[in-house]
Chain A
């Protein structure tokens, strides 16, 4: 991969998809952002690291900022060194990639390195720890003061005749994750929405630093519970790439089966909830029943309803039992049949379609501009799916069809889910057929990983049900983790909701919000 703005050629780094890396100076960094924007790169993530290791001679004793992008050739990771002076600063990405804004604010909260962007409000830090405590700095001790008086968060004010604010959250009226929404409305119409998230911040990045490489997948699995398979696989893919370990073929099929089951479970659940939010409780009953059937099949096949810790470094925790094959064949046929019938009912229900169509509209242009990713992007006509664009094992053996819709409204996000269910079921059948060809006893499902050299950076990227999940893993000495950054696609897609809601009425917010169904915990970290 070569770029005009880079002085050095990029080098290949370990990953499950083609991945390249370059270290850039300040001017190069700024030029690179413009060039990447120009060629239509997709912004993936941003993270910082504290490289001021006094005992480590291969370090430059500085901070680093890293940004990852997706291009047709693969992923590109750029690193930029920042001198460890009093107020370390780096050139902001926001002008070229607006999706980086919240990540830059979060990076400042965790590491004390600031971007040059105008918005410097804290993101993860809600005054529960002091402003001068940067958790990811190695020389920072645990804060003593914990009961700080919260300062009010300066939401952007909308002024004018008849404008009033509705504050919602962090505790919501339902079984939902916490987050705050500030609506500015005139009558029923929303003229501005501002999100404030970070309530479920658990210090994931800090926890990784005290974990070993061998058990880091357990933390990755708990970044966002509904995407546990995607995160655990991304972590394992990064570690396996760093140690040049090939996961056994049978284990890759089992991993993909688990990932598709996760996609199915979430899509089924969402379709039910979307029907319910539009006043069609029948949909919730039917789909929640199908989801429960799938989860119960998971118990028989993988030994758990939700597949926490099913994927482990080097392979998977358990193989399918013999009776599972027949059960799964039956399950896929049943789900296919039922989902087809329910789709007809949804499509032909006038009241439901009236709520779905044109609600929460996000045009393709705006989606591209904001850096939309995953399912939400596909519903606005952006055809990206890692399983098809950069297939890793075993997706290189089963061709995946990228599902896109063009209308960009709630109806489109409903249709993408329906069609992805059928595509996912097709993949499940193909994966199951491959699994039934190889004997359970003769094939290993796990290999041991050799020790990883210290200071190696690896990237794991998996297309979860919501979009691409990314793990950037840097190894430390003695099997430790020096830095691990877990990125959920919700980071990019939360800001989409602020635009999709504009001009809609407040009562449509739950429906529009659900059509994106973004993760709070995945974004909060």
Chain B
């Protein structure tokens, strides 16, 4: 136990400043306040893998590590689409996931945001349209923002989410 506590103290707080999309020092606090005003709670994200190679998932996972600390900004991943404000979709939308993606989208209460993450989700990437893939998320459900990259870095994903949230909150 002492060993564990000592390590926690030694590690300290590693969370870094936010990426360029929100450079104003008080932007995170302002965003948190806006989120609170509009939603009365944290911004909730549901993720759906619609045929990704799992590269994008690895980078989305990284958002929860202590360096990026997504939850520190009042943004969290939730287990049900019913609890979500924002849908994060990866992959070129495999034909086998098309129906599940539509149903997840429909299950999210309005108003909702959809972000397509990665080159596949944005434009089909290396897979494009075929018997097995629909080519991009926008071909299946309405998309509000895209984050390109193969895979995009956590900073890029974080920037994209914050931008989408800020626009939404500001609108």
Stretch at the interface among B3-11, B19-27, B159-167: B3-11
Inter-subunit contact B97/A305 (CB<8 Å): no
Kindly state whether residue B52 has any CB partner on chain A within 8 Å. Answer: yes
Q: Digit string of A492-525 for contact with B (CB within 8 Å is 1, else 0)?
A: 0000000000000000000000000001110010
CB atoms of A175 and B47 under 8 A apart: yes
Q: A203-B133, A345-B3 are contacts. A292–B62 as well, Cβ < 8 Å?
A: yes
Closest to A178 in B: B49
A225 interfacial by beta-carbon distance below 8 Å: yes
- Distance, CA A308 to CA B152, complexed state (A): 12
> Of all chain B residues, which has the CB nearest A129?
B131
CB-defined interface of B41-84 with A at 8 Å, one 1/0 digit per residue? 00000011111111111111110111100000000010111000
Bound-state Cα–Cα, A285 to B77, Å: 16
List which A247-295 residues lie within 8 A (CB) of chain B: 269, 282, 285-286, 288-289, 291-292, 295
Q: Is B99 an interface residue (CB 8 A)?
A: yes
Q: How far is the CB of B61 from chain A (nearest CB, A)?
A: 5
A95 within 8 A of B: no
Contact between A305 and B153 (Cβ–Cβ < 8 Å)?
Answer: yes
Task: Point out the residues of chain A lying under 8 angstroms from B48, CB to CB.
Answer: 171, 178
Known: A128-B95, A129-B131, A282-B8. A225 touches B79 (CB 8 A): no
**How big is chain B's contact interface, by range?**
35 or more
Q: How many residues of A contact B (CB 8 A)?
A: 56
Query: Which chain A residues lie closer than 8 Å to B58 at the CB level?
Result: 225-226, 269, 306
Please indicate the chain A residues that have their CB under 8 angstroms from the CB of B150 in the complex: 308
State in angstroms the CA–CA spacing of A173 and B79 once bound together: 4
A175 touches B153 (CB 8 A): no
B4 touches A282 (CB 8 A): yes
A171 with B104: CB separation less than 8 A: yes
Q: Which of A200, A349, A521 has the most CB of B within 10 A?
A: A200
Interface of chain A residues 403 through 444 with chain B (CB within 8 A): none
User: A58 at the A/B interface (Cβ < 8 Å)?
Assistant: no
Q: Is the CB of A199 within 8 A of B96?
A: yes
A178 touching B100, Cβ below 8 Å? yes
Given contacts A173-B79, A202-B92, A305-B153, whether A128 and B98 have CB atoms under 8 Å apart is yes
- Nearest-CB distance from B150 to chain A (Å)? 6
> Quick one: given A199-B97, A288-B65, are A177 and B54 in contact (CB under 8 Å)?
yes
Q: Is B14 an interface residue (CB 8 A)?
A: yes
Known A-B contacts A202-B133, A219-B126, A289-B14; A224 and B96 likewise in contact (beta carbons under 8 Å):
no
From the candidates A198, A207, A289, A295, name the one contacting B66 in the complex (CB within 8 A). A289
Chain B contacts for A291, CB-based, 8 A: 62, 65
A200-B57 in contact (CB<8A): no
Q: Bound state CA distance, A224 and B55, in angstroms?
A: 7
| Inter-chain contact total with CB atoms closer than 8 Å | 159
**Which residues of B are found within 8 Å of A129, using beta-carbon distances?**
95, 131-132
Q: Which residues of A contact B97 (CB under 8 A)?
A: 170, 178, 199-200
**In the complex, what distance in Å separates the CA atom of A133 from the CA atom of B95?**
14
Chain A contacts for B59, CB-based, 8 A = 305-306
Complex alpha-carbon distance, A295 and B151, angstroms = 13
Is residue B94 contacting chain A, with contact meaning CB distance below 8 A?
Answer: yes
CA distance A202 to B133 in the complex (A): 6
B35 to chain A, nearest CB (A): 21
List A298-356 residues whose CB lies under 8 Å from chain B: 305-306, 308, 341-342, 344-345, 348-349
List, in ascending order, chain B residues with CB within 8 A of A80's CB: none
A514 to B126, CA, bound (A): 29
Q: What 0/1 pattern do residues 217 to 238 of A give for CB contact below 8 A with B?
A: 0110011111010000000000
Chain A nearest Cβ from B108, distance in angstroms: 12
Q: Taking the complex as formed, is B121 at the interface, i.e. its CB lies under 8 A from any CB of chain A?
A: no
List the B side residues contacting A285 at CB < 8 Å: 11, 65-66
Pick the contact of B54: A171, A286, A348, A520 (CB < 8 A): A520
B96 CB contact (under 8 Å) in A200, A219, A223: A200
Q: Given A129-B131, A306-B55, are A345 and B65 also a contact pair (CB < 8 Å)?
A: no
The closest CB in chain B to the CB of A290 belongs to B65
Check: B144 CB closer than 8 A to any chain A CB.
no
Query: Of A16-24, A64-72, A142-150, A475-483, which stretch is located at the interface?
Result: A142-150
Is there a chain B Cβ closer than 8 Å to A126's Cβ? yes
How far is A150 from B4 in the complex, measured between Cα atoms in Å?
51
CB distance from A158 to the nearest CB of B (A): 25
B contact residues around A225 at 8 Å (CB): 52-58, 151
Q: How far is the CA of A110 from the CA of B66 in the complex (A)?
A: 44
Of B53, B77, B96, B131, the contact of A175 (CB 8 Å cutoff): B77
Complex CA distance for A176 and B79, rounded to whole angstroms:
11
Contact A126 B132 (CB under 8 A): no
- Name B46's closest neighbour in chain A (CB-CB): A171
Tell yes or no: A98 within 8 A of B by CB: no
Contact of B55 among A199, A207, A308 (CB under 8 A): A308
Q: Taking the nearest CB of chain B, how far is it from the CB of A350, in angstroms? A: 10
A118 CB within 8 Å of chain B: no
B152 to chain A, nearest CB (A): 10
**Contacting residues, chain A, for B66 (C-beta < 8 A):** 285, 288-289
Complex formed: what's the CA distance from A289 to B64 in Å?
A: 10
Q: Which 5 A-B pairs have the closest CB atoms?
A: A225-B55, A128-B95, A173-B79, A203-B132, A288-B65
Q: What are 16 A-B pairs at a CB distance below 8 A?
A: A175-B61, A177-B52, A199-B96, A201-B51, A202-B92, A202-B133, A222-B55, A222-B127, A223-B53, A225-B56, A226-B54, A282-B8, A306-B59, A344-B3, A345-B3, A520-B54
Given contacts A129-B95, A308-B150, A344-B3, 17 further A-B contacts (CB under 8 A): A128-B95, A176-B49, A176-B57, A178-B48, A200-B49, A201-B94, A201-B132, A202-B94, A202-B130, A203-B130, A222-B55, A225-B57, A285-B66, A286-B7, A289-B14, A295-B62, A306-B59
- Which residues on A are within 8 Å of B, measured CB to CB? 124, 126, 128-129, 133, 135, 142-143, 146, 150, 170-171, 173-178, 198-203, 206-207, 218-219, 222-226, 228, 269, 282, 285-286, 288-289, 291-292, 295, 305-306, 308, 341-342, 344-345, 348-349, 519-521, 524
